Structure 1
Amino acid sequence: MLYDLDGVIVDSKTTVIEALREVAGIVLGTLPPPEQVRRLAYLPPVQALTELGVPDADQAFDAHFDIAFAAHAGKSRLVAGMTAAMWRIRMAGRRQAIVTLQRRHRLDLLPLGEVFDLVDTIVCFEDAPPKPAPDPLWLALDRLQIPREQACFIGDTASDIQAGKAAGVPVFGATWGYRDAATLAEAGADGLLGEPADAVRLVLAKPTVTVGYDSSATGATVCSGDSP
C-alpha cells in the first residue's frame, strides 16, 4: 500500500495555507485573503505562490517557506482514523510506504509520531522526479519489493491520480483530503475512499469502494464499505 502524505495521512491544510500567506505577504507587502490561498493550497508551493502573483516564486520559496512552514507546523493534525487503519493493514502483513512531495527535512515538523513505525519507507521530493511523474511510486515499489499489480496508491489530488496511472498502479482518491470527490473522479481515480477505514477494506479485499461519476450530476458518488 502506497500513500500520499499531506491530506491523506496528515491534515496539513492550515499549515500550508498560513505558510503560503506568510511568504506571499513578505514579498508582496500584504497578506492575500485566506480563501484565495485555500483554493490554491493543493498545488506545489512554488506553483501556488506563482498563482498568488509572487514574482520569482522559486526564490521566494527557497528564502522563506521553510521558516513559515515551521512556524505553523503545530497546526497540522493526523487524519482521524488513519493510523488505526494503517495499524490494521500492518498487522495483516502488508507493507506500506509514503510517497510525498514534502522535503525530507520537514517531516519531523509534522505530528507523524507512530506513522514512522507503520511504514517501511518514505519517498520524498528529493528522492525522484516528483509526482505527477511515476518515478517516486516506482522507487517505493522497488524498495518494498512489490510488483505494480499487487500494489495500490491512495492520493488526494489530480497529480496523485496522474502519477498512479502513469506508474501502472491502481489509484484511489481520499475524499477527506485536499480535493473533493468530483475532482478525483474526473482525474480518473479507480475508486474513491470515503473514510480511512475504507483503506482497510480495500487492502483486505472485502466488498469495498466503487465510484460512479455522472457528468450531468453535481459530483461523484462515494460508496464505502459494503455499500452497493
Structure 2
Amino acid sequence: MLYDLDGVIVDSKSTIVEALRDVAGVALGTLPPPEQVRCLAYLPPVQVLTELGVADAAEVFDAQFDTAYARHARRSRLVAGMTAAMWRVRMAGRRQAIVTMQRRHRLNRLPLGEVFDLVDTIVCFEDATPKPAPDPLWLALDRLHIRPDQACFIGDTASDMQAGRAAGVIVYGAAWGYQDAAALVAAGADGLLTEPADVVGLVLGDRSVTVGYDSSATGMTVRSGSSP
C-alpha cells in the first residue's frame, strides 16, 4: 500500500493555508483571504503563490515557506482513524510506504508519531521528480520490492490520481482529503474511500468501498471491497 501524506494521513490543510497566506502576504503587502487560499491549497505551493499573484513565486517560496510552515505546523493533526487502519494493514502483512511532495526536513514538524513505525519507506519531494510524474511511486515500489500491478496508491488530489495511473498502480481517492470526490473521479480514480476504515476493507476485502460517483443522484455507487 502506498499513501500520500498531506490530506490522507495528516490533516494539514490549515497549516498549509496559513503558511501560504503568510508568504503571500509578505510578497504582496497584504494577506489574501483565507478562503481564496483554501480553494487553491490542493495545488503545489509554488503554483498557489503564482495564482495569488506573487512574482518569482519559486524564489519567494524557497526563501520564506519553511519559517511560515514552522509557525503553523502545530495546527496539523493525524486524520482520525488513519493510524488504526494502517496498523490493521501492517498486521495483515502488507508493506506500506508514503509518497509525498513534502520536503524531508519538514516531516519532523508534523505529528507523525507512530506513523514512522508503520511504513517501510517515505519518498519525499527531493527523492524523485514529483507527482504527477510517476517517478516517486516507482521509487517507493522499488524500495518495497513489489510490482505496480501488486500495489494500490491512496491519494487525495488530481495529481495523485494522475501519478498513480501513470505508474500503473490501482489508485483510490481519499474523499476526506484536499479535493472532493467529483474531482478525484474526474482525475481518474479507480475508486473512492469515504473514511479511513475503508482502507482496511480495500486490503482485507471485508467492507464496501465506493467505486463510482454520480453528482446528479445520490453521489455514490458502492460495491463490495476486494484486495488489489
Tell me what 2:165 maps to. 165
Residues 1:16 and 2:23 are matched in the alignment = no
Tell me what 1:150 maps to. 150
Separation in 1, partners of 2:11, 2:175: 12
Distance change >3 Å, CA 225–CA 16, structure 1 → 2: farther
Is the 1:88–1:200 Cα contact (8 Å) retained in structure 2? yes
Distance change >3 Å, CA 171–CA 181, structure 1 → 2: same
SS of 1:61 mapped into structure 2: helix
Q: Report the AA paired with residue 5 of structure 1.
A: L
Distance change >3 Å, CA 13–CA 219, structure 1 → 2: farther
SS of 2:161 mapped into structure 1: helix
Is the 1:95–1:144 Cα contact (8 Å) retained in structure 2? yes
Tell me what 1:140 maps to. 140
Tell me what 1:32 maps to. 32
Q: Report the AA paired with residue 39 of structure 1.
A: C
Tell me what 2:80 maps to. 80
Separation in 1, partners of 2:26, 2:218: 38
**Structure 1 residue runs without a partner (length 5+):** none
Distance change >3 Å, CA 52–CA 152, structure 1 → 2: same
Distance change >3 Å, CA 219–CA 12, structure 1 → 2: farther
CA displacement 1:129-166 (0-9 Å, x = unmatched): 00000010000000000111111000000000000000
Is the 2:5–2:98 Cα contact (8 Å) retained in structure 1? yes
Matches within 5 A, 1:93-132: 93-132=93-132
CA displacement 1:53-90 (0-9 Å, x = unmatched): 00110111011000000100000000000000000000
1:16 Cα offset (Å):
0.2
Is the 1:171–1:189 Cα contact (8 Å) retained in structure 2? yes
SS of 1:209 mapped into structure 2: strand
1:27 Cα offset (Å):
0.6
Question: Where has structure 1 moved over 6 Å in runs of 4 or more?
Answer: none
Q: Report the AA paired with residue 64 of structure 1.
A: Q
Tell me what 1:42 maps to. 42
1:97 Cα offset (Å):
0.1
Aligned residues, how many? 225
**Structure 2 residue runs without a partner (length 5+):** none
Q: Report the AA paired with residue 161 of structure 1.
A: M
Is the 1:8–1:154 Cα contact (8 Å) retained in structure 2? yes
Distance change >3 Å, CA 53–CA 169, structure 1 → 2: same
SS of 2:21 mapped into structure 1: helix
Separation in 2, partners of 1:82, 1:71: 25
Separation in 2, partners of 1:46, 1:15: 15
Residues 1:190 and 2:184 are matched in the alignment = no
Distance change >3 Å, CA 113–CA 38, structure 1 → 2: same
Query: What is the aligned-residue identity percentage?
Result: 76
Separation in 2, partners of 1:74, 1:33: 21
